[in-house]
Amino acid sequence: MNKNEMIAKAIAEMSNEQKAQIFPPITRKNFVVRANWLGRNQIITFTNNKGQVVTYNHDEALKIMSPKLTIMPCWIKRGYWSQSTNYPSVLKDTPAILSVLETATDDAPTYTAEQIAAETALVESLGAYCNDDSPV
């Protein structure tokens, strides 16, 4: 038995809790499945091109995608497949996708009550220097 086989066997005998300690959740820039990650129960999060934050279980995604992947040249050659725009539609409404969160698109800054109070006090103090009805 070679080193990789010994590692694969040890991982297969671990509980999901033990795997989570060794392979903590990761954040990537794209959706990815790798043959050599199978069995890790890896949780992966990425942001798609719609700005949604997608979290998925790698093993569940790979199991669902496996029939199609096994005939793709990139999978045969590298054991790797990725997609930068979104997660594959075949995974929609499956246990592989753990969550899809909408991110706020509003770029307006948020202020604390203290910041608003300080700004208001500054504006009121400057009002003492304006003796006419000018807007500034």
Can you name the residues that pair with 32 across neighbouring β-strands? 82
Closest CA to 49 of 96, 81, 80, 87: 87
How do residues 48-78 score in pLDDT, each as one tens digit? 999 899 999 999 999 999 999 999 998 999 9
Res 91 pLDDT > 60: yes
Kindly list the distances between the CA atom of residue 50 and the CA atoms of 18, 30, 33, 42, 101, in Å, as whole numbers in the listed order.
Answer: 34, 12, 20, 23, 11
Inter-residue contact 16 to 42 (CB < 8 Å): no
Closest alpha carbon to 54 in 103, 104, 90, 99: 99
pLDDT for residue 132 is more than 90 = no
Angular region, 41: left φ>0, alpha ψ -120 to 50, beta rest: left
User: What average pLDDT does this structure show over 84-107?
Assistant: 87
Parse the chain into domains and list their residue ranges. 3-104
Higher pLDDT, 21 or 33: 33
